[in-house]
Amino acid sequence: MNTRIVEIWVGIFIAAGSAALFMLAMKVSNLATYTDDEGYVVTAKFEDASGLKVRSPVAMAGVRLGRVTDIKFDNQSLEAVVTMRIESQYNTLPKDTSASIYTAGLLGEKYVGLEPGGDEASLQNGDRIKLTQSSMVLEKLIGQFVSKFLNEDSSDKK
Task: Please give the residues from 27 up to 56 whose contact with another protein meets the rule CB under 8 A.
Answer: 27-34, 55
The reply to whether 13 sits near another protein by the rule CB under 8 A is yes
Give the distance, in angstroms, between the CA of residue 99 and the centroid of all CA atoms in the same chain: 10
The reply to whether 158 sits near another protein by the rule CB under 8 A is no
> Which stretch in 6-14, 39-47, 74-82, 116-124 sits in contact with another protein by CB under 8 A?
6-14
User: Residue 60: CA atoms inside 13 Å, Cβ hemisphere, count?
Assistant: 16
> Which stretch in 16-24, 83-91, 116-124, 127-135 sits in contact with another protein by CB under 8 A?
16-24
- Start-to-end CA distance of the chain, whole Å, equals 96
The reply to whether 17 sits near another protein by the rule CB under 8 A is yes
Least distance (Å) between residue 45 CB and another protein: 25
Rounded Cα gap, residues 38 and 34, in angstroms: 10
In this structure, the strands spanning 128-129 and 40-46 are parallel
> Which stretch in 1-9, 123-131, 137-145, 149-157 sits in contact with another protein by CB under 8 A?
1-9
Cβ nearer to another protein, comparing 34 with 73: 34
Cβ nearer to another protein, comparing 1 with 61: 1
Which residues form the interface with another protein (CB under 8 A)?
1, 3, 6-7, 9-10, 12-14, 16-21, 23-25, 27-34, 55
